[in-house]
Structure 1
C-alpha cells in the first residue's frame, strides 16, 4: 500500500483512497457538546518562531472541528516557556471566528521548555474562565515534547482529575514524552500537527466515543497501522587515534589508542496505531454516467462534471436528443490529407455525438462511410439497433490514407448510401436522408457537380471541417447555414449541439 507522508514524521499505512477519505472527514467533522477546551501551546526557543506560527495555524484549524458556542464548546489558550502565560480564558471569545482571530494575534514569547511548570499552573488554577468541571475538560498540549524537567507526576495528576489530555507533536517531537503526557489509550490521544486535517480527524475520532455527538450515519472509527518518527542526536564511535597517557613512573608518558566520537542526527521510528473516522464517499457508487467526473461535496452530496453534450440531469444523462426522425449517414474523410490524428479525432467526435443524442432505447438509423480514392460503407444505415454495437463498429474503423476524392464519394453515397430494407413488405421508408461530411482536407476532384447531384437525390448535406474548409464545405452543402467549422481540435467537440440542431433542421433548411 501507499503511505501518507506528513513531512516524514508521521506515516499512516493506508492506500490513497483512504488518505482522501480521512482528510475529507477531518475537514467536515464538528464536535458538538458542552465541552471546555484549553490549548496549552509551547512557545519555547526549542520550538522556534517558525514552528510556533505553525502551532497557531494548527490551533486555528482545530477550532474548525469544534462547535464553538457559549452553551457548547468553549476554547481558551495558555502559552508556556519558562513560565506559563494566559493568552485568553475560556469565557472571553464565544464564537469560532473570534477565537481564530485572537489566536492569530498571539506573539511568540521564547524561553526554556518548562512543561511541568505549565501543567502545575493548570492544576493549581484550573481551566481559566471554565465551567468548574461541570462539563468535560479537554487539555490539548502542542509541543515538541522536549521538557527540561520531568512531566510524569503532573501528567498523572491531570489524569486523576479526569482531564482528557491530547499531546500534539510539532516540529521533530520527542514522542516518548508526549505519550507520558497523553491520556490512555495513548495511541488515540497523541497526534501530529504537521497535517491539520488528519489531526482534527484524530481528535474528533477519540472524542466521539466519549463527549461529542455521534458520528454521521455510515461513518465509523477505524484503526490503521502508523509510524511516528523523531529526530535525535546520537553519539557514534567514529574510530581511534593515537594519544599519549600519563604513566605511574615519574616524568613519563606512554602512547595509547583513544576513541574518537562523532554526533549525528537520526530519525528514530515509533510504530503505533492511528484511529481515524472515515465516511462513505458519495462518489463510491459512481453515480455519474457517460464518463462524467464525480466531485464530492461533504459527506452526502456530490455534483457531476459532464462531458460536452451531456448534463440532461445531475448524473450526466444526454442533454441532447434527436427530436427528429431521420436516416443519418456520416461520411468520414480517411485520406492522407486528414492524417491519422485527424481521422482518430473524427472517430472520437462521432462516438461522443452519438452517445450524446442517442438514448439507450432510441431506434438507430445511423450509418458510417469512409472515403479516400475509393468509398466504403462499413456500417450500413440502420445496421445496428443498439448503441453498444454501433460504438464497437466505430472503434473497428481503420485509417486508410490515399487521395481525397470528395466528389466521387458524394456521388457514390447518393447512389448507394441509403439502400432501404423495410421490415414489412408494405412499409415505406420515407424518412429524410441526411449526410454529414467530416473532412479537413481539400478535395482533389470537383465537388460542386457531385454535391448538386446528391442534393437532387433529396440528400440533406451538412459539412463539418476546420475554418479553412469553409468555402468548399459551402459548395458541398449549397447553403452556408448547413456548414459547421471549428477553430481548433478541441472546438470540434463544442460543435455537438450545433450539429444536432442542423440535422433536425432538415424539414426547415432555411431556419
Structure 2
C-alpha cells in the first residue's frame, strides 16, 4: 500500500523586523484568525500551531495545545513580537522535527501544510531547507509583503500557484480565500488519489514499491504510468491560486502556518464560512438530448446536494432554476421557495427537454432572473451555476461577459463532451471552471463549489441595477 504521509499536523512561524509596527502586527493576527475560522478545529479535525522567528525561533504553541477556536484566537492575541534579522532557511529547518513529532501524534495519512509569511529578504539560503520539507510531503505556501524577495518566495513554495505577494499588511485579507481554496483543492485531489491507491478497485495493479509523489508534483489525475486504469475523477481546471499578471497590493512578514487535516473529514472548511452568507443562486441546467434520463437524474442529485449544503431562507440563500436546450424553461424563480424540502420537490419534478445546446441564448435569458422582478434581492451576491455536458451551438462569450459585468459570478461545470474553452469563456476565470468526465463524479466537486460560494472575493458589488 502507499501512504501519503505528507499531510501531517502543522504550525505557523513568523518573523518580525523593527519596521513592522503594531498596526501591521495586528493585521497579521487578524489574518491568522480569519484563516482559522475557515476550518473545523479539533484534535481529530484541524490542528493549528504557531512558531515566530527572526534570527531566533520561538514556538508559540503546539499543535495539540488548543482544540477550540476561541482558545486559538486568544493564543494568537497573546503573541508578542520578537525582533531581529531574517533567517528563513533556518526557520524552515526548525520546522522539520515539529513535523516529525506531528507524524507520531496521529495515525494514518493527515495532510500537512505550511504557510510562510515574510516582509523581507532572507539572509540565508532557503532553497535546500524548503526542498527537504517538500520532499517530506509538506505543502508550502509563501506569502511575501512589501520588501520580500519574490524569487525566494518561489524557491520556498516550489510553485507559482502557492506563491503570493502583496504590498501592505492590511491587504492580507484579500488573499485569504485564495490560500484556503488552494489548500482545499490540494487536499481534495489527494483524497481522490489516496482512495484509489488504497482500494485499487479501479486503479489497476499497485505495489508497495511504487514511488511516493511529492506534494508539489501531485496532479489532479495521478500519473497513468502508476495507475493505467485510473479514471479521470477530478476537474481539469483547478482552483489553485496563481500569481496574476500584475502584483496584488499587500505587505510581508515571515510566518509559517501549518495545520493538520483529518483525512476522513470531508468537509474541511468550517460551517462558519457559510453561516452569515446571503446569496441569490441560479442554476442554469443543460437539458439537451445528449444527457439522457439517467444522467439527468444524477445532475438533479448534484443540485439537491448543493442546496442541502446551503443555508436556505428568504434572508439567507435563495435558489432558482432554469433549464435550456434549444428553448429556455423556467422551473422556479429565486423567491418562489424558502425551504429545502420545497426546492427538493421542485427539482424532483424537472423533466428532460431534449434537442440541441444553445448555451449563449440561455445565458442571456437567465440574466433577468437576477433582477427584482424575478425575485432577486438588491445588494446580495449573485451566483450562476451552469451545468452542461456538450458544446454550445451559439456564441457564449458576449452574453457571459454581460452577466459578469453586472456582478454575477459564474461557475461552469462541464461533463464529458463539454467544451473547456467555452467553459472558461463563460466563467471568465479558470478557477471557476470545473470539469469531470462523467456525471457520477459530480459529487466530488460539491464541497469546492460551496466553499467558493461561501468565501467570495472581497470588495465585489453583486447588485444588479435593473
Taking structure 1 as the reference length, what is the TM-score of the superposition? 0.37
Q: Which has the larger radius of gyration?
A: 1
Which protein, 1 or 2, shows the higher relative CO under an 8 Å CA cutoff with sep ≥ 6?
Answer: 2
Taking structure 2 as the reference length, what is the TM-score of the superposition? 0.40
Give the structure with the larger helix fraction: 2
